[in-house]
Amino acid sequence: MAGHSKWANIKHRKGAQDKKRGKVFMQLAKEIYVAAKQGGGDPEMNAHLRKAIDKAKANNVPNDNIDRAVAKATGSLEGVNYEELTYEGYGPAGVAILVETLTDNKNRTVGEVRTAFNKNGGNLGESGSVAFMFDRKGYLVIDREEYPDVDEEELMLEAVEAGADEMETNEDSFEIYTDPQSFQEVREALEASDYNFATAEVTFFPQTRTHLEGADAEKMVKLINALEDLEDVQEVYHNLEADDEIMEQL
């Protein structure tokens, strides 16, 4: 029985990993579809598409999936029309949440998002109810281990000259922040200097954070995970602050 139990646990764990991997592939394929639909199927002429393809390749999305998403968007294949929608709401104890979705069925998506909020101690809010609590920025992370001899001051000057707003140096990384409109220009300038990025994206940062402990923190983790498990959800942003043990559950 012990062996059977162990095998059952392994199968369950692998099944969960495969499910999550499949969802990531689908999310990234949708991003490619939208980018190609809006700006054309040539990544050399479409910076948004190039960024989406780079992100997909970094997550080991097969080339066939990438090509199929571009083909659907450009009319080479029969496809569906996706719409980008953002939902706003509150979690336990007033934690602010932004949910970015990509969907071909708005009614299905809003229903699933609302259910996730309601079942996990949150409330879906009106448009504009929490968005003002976040700043949208370009975010580039360079792994210091990959560049042990880099001169911090020179890197910062190069990033700022390219259009970056600021750079923070941590024990294991350099974090560069840009205006969303300057993101691609800064990225390309640093790539031309042979820098690789551990992370390169335009994302949301909370202006302030809400610290939770105990049951409220656990509820918040369940809400975030429930939202991220939804097929149409691309990203979940929040201003939760909690102990490391809690944050590692996300």
Better-scored residue on pLDDT, 250 or 11 = 250
* Identity of residue 198: A
pLDDT tens digit sequence for 85-108: 999 999 999 999 999 998 889 999
**Apex 111 CA angle, 110 and 113, nearest 5:** 65
The encoded tokens of residue 248 equal 């590692």
Give all domains of the chain, ordered by start, each with its CATH number: 2-73 (1.10.10.200), 83-250 (3.30.70.980)
The encoded tokens of residue 189 equal 């300038």
d(CA 26, CA 222): 22
Please name the helix (run of DSSP H) or strand (run of DSSP E) that holds residue 109, with its range, or none: helix 106-119
The encoded tokens of residue 58 equal 């970094």
pLDDT tens digit sequence for 12-50: 444 455 556 777 888 888 889 888 887 899 998 988 899
